[in-house]
Amino acid sequence: MAEIGHFALILALGVAIAQTVLPVIGYLRRDSRWLAIGVSGAQTQFGLIVLAYAALTLAFIYNDFSLKYVEANSHSALPLIYRLSAVWGAHEGSLLLWVLMLTGWGFAVSLSSRRLPADIAALVLATMGSISVGFLLFMLFTSNPFERQFPVPLEGHDLNPLLQDPGLIIHPPTLYMGYVGLSVAFSFAIAALITGKLDVAWARWTRPWTTTAWLFLTMGITLGSWWAYNELGWGGWWFWDPVENASFMPWLVGTALIHSLAVTEKRGVLKSWTVLLAILAFSLSLLGTFLVRSGVLVSVHAFATDPARGVFILAFLTVVLGSALLLYAIRAPKLVSDGAVELMSREGLLLLNNVFLVAAAAAVLIGTLYPLVVDALGIGKISVGPPYFNSIFLPLMMPLAVLVGMSARVGWKQARLRDALWSLRWIALGSVICAVLLPFVLERSWAWMAILGTALAVWVMIGALLDVVHRVRARRDRWQGLRSIPSGTWGMTLAHLGLGFWIFGVTYASLFSVEKDVRLAPGQAAEIGAYTFTFQGTQHSEGVNYRADTGSVIVERNGRLISKLQPEKRLYPSQGSVMTESAVDHNPRRDLYVALGEPIGDQDWALRLYYKPFIRMVWFGGVLMFIGGIFAASDRRYRLARHARAAAASDATAAV
Amino acid sequence: MMRVASLVAALLMSLAVSVSFAAAIDPLPPLSGAQQEHYQQLISQLRCLVCQNQTIADSTAPLALDLREQVHRQIAEGRSDAQIRQYMTDRYGDFVLYKPQLKPRTILLWFGPFVLLALALITAVIFTRRSRRRPVPVAVDQQALQRLLSEEDGR
């Protein structure tokens, strides 16, 4: 079975090469038969990768430890669901997943290719094929998941216990869908550069693909954050770990890209900037893959350390980015935008939004790579961590939040500053009132950071809603007004609301969290604010593939029972590692979080207690952005096969 | 001194024991309110040198425990933030600080993002100024155009 998978990979490489080369020849010769190879190539390649993936999955299901990769990452006692997710639990398998998704996106593009001009479709698929070539070569030469070993071990090493969590089942695939999905936008950008055709229709084709990739990336990051909070037991939701940064950079640039695509579609301007962003967003995805997979960073996520791999990805990254930028340098001057862009207009504000988002991405990039560069130059070793990122990131994000709140009330083409400010008076008033009241009502505090954070959050939220309100009011029949709002507008509203919730959650969770490490004997209690945590002792138990101590903690508020929490400490004997399974009582208002430490003396245990206000808002915001993305990507106008002319005509009716 | 310190750090790194993802929980005797806050803030800014990218607040490694106790003691003794940081960097080099100090070699790190932002803002403003001079697209009356073209052909 494994040999079938291996063979399918080799065949897929052949197909990918054909898919890259032949359509380009077809484009040069203006021969539609050669162009069509892009479509059939993409579909064949997807089929082959599905076959390879199925083969590896079967090897995991049947515990085929003759495969090195299976042996290293599975165990006969591992529950089936984790054996399925262990397929992408380490380097080789996660690359296979990467390629599966890449060819999956290619397959999806090929299905909708009839709506595209033949030459564009062929060039897009050829570009995607070339990326596939790079990754298949990488797998076959440095990271083959189908490598056999002899003698066959009787038992596997087991999956990293850190990864034995429902979070792992969905977090990496979602994130990869996003990473890899940006390759579609990249490929459209390359096709536009080669043909020199970049019009409203191009932006309209590219937008739903980009938004879809973005929504997966958003969800992937949100899930990762939730997973870290839940599983790692550190009580944090974002660590500025290089691997998190690796996913955050493409997200920032991807966010800039979906906004600049909106401008390009509506106004036909910022064309070359949009193309450059598409190139950068995908390059950052590749850079992220390099950082994670090469092991240049020693961090919680990086399991792989093999220089040959790092060098290969770096070379590949250089080739992709280098050739794309070269093409850009040659062809971008041909992408002429007409019409003026006023700073005080919706497109002007979106341009500013792009400036801040890209600057933020650059800050994350600088902070992530700086220690590596300093180390490589031999001028010492430094660490760049959360305190740095927080202090740089905050001043870059605050103006962005101000812009988001403004955007909905500022029209396209040109607006007068005074009119815009006047139309924002209610938002401003609302956020000032909330900013003064909420921190005090909720947390008895007048901390100026809390006031500022609340003001920005409310500003963004009201700004998002006000657009909907105005659209409803514009019609005499309110209900019809509500129904006439295009799904793209709902998407924007939801995503911006999500940003507001996110800002709110981040502000309160980071300013008002209380953390206590306590030593408690059974029967003893500790207090945080109005909450009393009473420790009742621990019990020993055996799990499927681990041993556990389960603590029992009763939480009361003013004598009223709130919850009974059971934090766990697990020992996985197969790898000798200890994991903390924290217990959380949550509601939208606050999380109460208990983690079990070490036993002290005969009966006492060390416990960590947390009170975290509004931390759920952080992920709730992410989920809203995700749902907003779904609305935006499914806007009706993308599904109508209209011509470019019709597209231009509908500008007046549709929103961002 | 610097070199020795970073050498020590590198050595410790290479000796890195198996990573534990258990939470670091150790109940030290309570400090006064402000001191406790200071303690929490400081331990979340110091790197556990033998761990994979963890602060000493998060790590369970023995070294992290040692360092936490060290920080705790020094705060209880009333030493200042700067003094404790100095103590740590003297022993372990700059690597121990998650918030790098402003030095010649970290100038780009601290100012790079803002310089880039300033450049990007200036570029955006110049771009919008220039774009005003671009020809405004004129809606073309297709019928009139066809008529003109056919007249041209007819001539």
Which range has highest mean pLDDT (A68-82, A331-345, A598-612)?
Answer: A68-82
CA B52 to chain CA centroid, nearest Å: 16
Half-sphere exposure of residue A13: CA atoms within 13 angstroms, side-chain side = 14
Name A283's Cβ contacts closer than 8 Å, sequence gap at least 6. Answer: A186, A317, A320, A321, A324
% chain A with pLDDT above 70: 94
Which residue, among B7, B59, B115, B128, would best test binding to A if mutated, counting the most A CBs under 10 Å from its CB?
A: B128
Q: What's the CA gap between B54 and A607, in Å, rounded?
A: 20
Q: Summarize the confidence of residues A578-585 as an average pLDDT.
A: 82
pLDDT score for A455? 94
Residue A110 confidence class, pLDDT cut points 50, 70, 90: very high
Which range has highest mean pLDDT (A23-32, A245-254, A572-581, B75-84)?
Answer: A245-254
Q: What's the CA gap between B126 and B120, in Å, rounded?
A: 10
**A392 vs B47, B113, B125: nearest CB:** B113
Q: How many residues does chain B have?
A: 155
Which residue, among A160, A162, A234, would best test binding to B if mutated, counting the most B CBs under 10 Å from its CB?
A: A234
Residue B16 confidence class, pLDDT cut points 50, 70, 90: very low
DSSP, res A67: B
Residue A334 confidence class, pLDDT cut points 50, 70, 90: confident
pLDDT in tens, A354-390: 999 999 999 999 999 898 888 878 787 888 988 899 9
- B80, pLDDT greater than 50: yes
| B84 burial level (CB within 10 Å; 0-12, 13-18, 19+) | buried
Name every chain B residue with its beta carbon within 8 A of the beta carbon of A358: 120
Contact A59, A92 (CB under 8 A): no
**B23 vs A370, A391, A595: nearest CB:** A595
Question: A4 CA to chain B: closest CA distance, Å?
Answer: 37
pLDDT score for A513? 87
A388 with B109: Cβ contact below 8 A: yes
**B95 vs A366, A383, A582: nearest CB:** A383
Residue A479 or A408, more confident: A479
Name every chain B residue with its beta carbon within 8 A of the beta carbon of A341: 127-128, 131
Residue of A nearest to B114 (CA): A359
A608 with B23: Cβ contact below 8 A: yes
Name every chain A residue with its beta carbon within 8 A of the beta carbon of B52: 298-300, 302
Q: What's the CA gap between A9 and A145, in Å, rounded?
A: 10
Q: CATH number of the domain at A1-164, out of 3.90.25, 1.10.3470, 3.30.1450, 1.20.120?
A: 1.20.120
A300 with B52: Cβ contact below 8 A: yes
Name every chain A residue with its beta carbon within 8 A of the beta carbon of B28: 517
A383 with B47: Cβ contact below 8 A: yes
B136 with A348: Cβ contact below 8 A: no
pLDDT score for B144? 61
Question: B155 CA to chain A: closest CA distance, Å?
Answer: 30
Contact A527, A509 (CB under 8 A): no
SS3 state at B25: coil
pLDDT score for B148? 63
Domain boundaries, chain A: 1-164, 168-418, 424-512+619-656, 514-614
- B138, pLDDT greater than 70: no
Scored b (16 or more CB within 10 A) or e, B97-129 reads bbbbeeeebbeebbebbeebbeebeeebeebbe
Q: Summarize the confidence of residues A646-654 as an average pLDDT.
A: 41
pLDDT score for B38? 85
Residue A228 confidence class, pLDDT cut points 50, 70, 90: confident
Residue B19 confidence class, pLDDT cut points 50, 70, 90: very low
Name every chain A residue with its beta carbon within 8 A of the beta carbon of B105: 374, 379-380, 382
Q: What's the CA gap between A79 and A490, in Å, rounded?
A: 41
Name every chain A residue with its beta carbon within 8 A of the beta carbon of B125: 343
Distances (CA, A) of A504 to A417, A438, A464, A516, B12: 28, 11, 15, 23, 40
Q: Summarize the confidence of residues A295-311 as an average pLDDT.
A: 58
Three-state SS sequence of A366-385: HHHHHHHHHHHCCCCCCCCC
For residue A473, count other CB atoms closer than 10 A to its CB: 10
Backbone angles phi, psi at B135, to 5 degrees: -65, 140
Classify strands A531-542 and A514-520 as parallel, antiparallel or unpaired. unpaired
pLDDT score for A654? 42
Residue A629 confidence class, pLDDT cut points 50, 70, 90: very high
Residue A236 or A15, more confident: A15
Using alpha carbons, select from A389, A458, A132 the residue that is nearest to residue A248: A389
- B20, pLDDT greater than 90: no
Contact A142, A312 (CB under 8 A): yes
Residue of A nearest to B103 (CA): A382
| A480 burial level (CB within 10 Å; 0-12, 13-18, 19+) | exposed
Question: A69 CA to chain B: closest CA distance, Å?
Answer: 21
- Considering only A288-297, A566-575, A619-628, which range has the smallest mean pLDDT? A288-297
Residue A502 confidence class, pLDDT cut points 50, 70, 90: very high
- B137, pLDDT greater than 90: no
Instruction: Please state, rounded to an integer, the average pLDDT across all residues of chain A.
Output: 87
Question: B63 CA to chain A: closest CA distance, Å?
Answer: 16
- B109, pLDDT greater than 70: yes
pLDDT in tens, A66-78: 999 999 899 888 8
Classify strands A547-557 and A560-565 as parallel, antiparallel or unpaired. antiparallel
pLDDT in tens, B89-98: 998 888 889 9
A379 with B105: Cβ contact below 8 A: yes
pLDDT score for B14? 33
Using alpha carbons, select from A582, A451, A437, A607 the residue that is nearest to residue A528: A607
Contact B9, B43 (CB under 8 A): no
B25 with A367: Cβ contact below 8 A: no
- A225, pLDDT greater than 70: yes
**B100 vs A379, A388, A578: nearest CB:** A388
Residue A602 confidence class, pLDDT cut points 50, 70, 90: confident
Look-up: residue for tokens 């180390």? A375
Classify strands A525-528 and A531-542 as parallel, antiparallel or unpaired. antiparallel
A381 with B97: Cβ contact below 8 A: no
A338 with B134: Cβ contact below 8 A: yes
Name every chain A residue with its beta carbon within 8 A of the beta carbon of B18: 576-577
Using alpha carbons, select from A221, A215, A218, A216 the residue that is nearest to residue A239: A221
pLDDT score for A451? 93
Q: Summarize the confidence of residues A446-462 as an average pLDDT.
A: 92
**B120 vs A231, A358, A384: nearest CB:** A358
pLDDT score for A45? 96
Tokens of A229: 């909070």
- A656, pLDDT greater than 50: no
Scored b (16 or more CB within 10 A) or e, A30-50 reads eeeebbbbbbebbbbbbebbb
Q: What's the CA gap between A453 and A284, in Å, rounded?
A: 29
- A424, pLDDT greater than 90: no
Look-up: residue for tokens 């909905």? A408
Name A613's Cβ contacts closer than 8 Å, sequence gap at least 6. Answer: A442, A443, A508, A509, A512, A513, A589, A590
Using alpha carbons, select from A186, A177, A190, A183 the residue that is nearest to residue A218: A177
Q: Summarize the confidence of residues B142-151 as an average pLDDT.
A: 64
Q: Summarize the confidence of residues A620-648 as an average pLDDT.
A: 76
**B6 vs A360, A381, A595: nearest CB:** A381
Half-sphere exposure of residue A25: CA atoms within 13 angstroms, side-chain side = 9
Residue A303 confidence class, pLDDT cut points 50, 70, 90: very low
**A595 vs B25, B96, B108: nearest CB:** B25
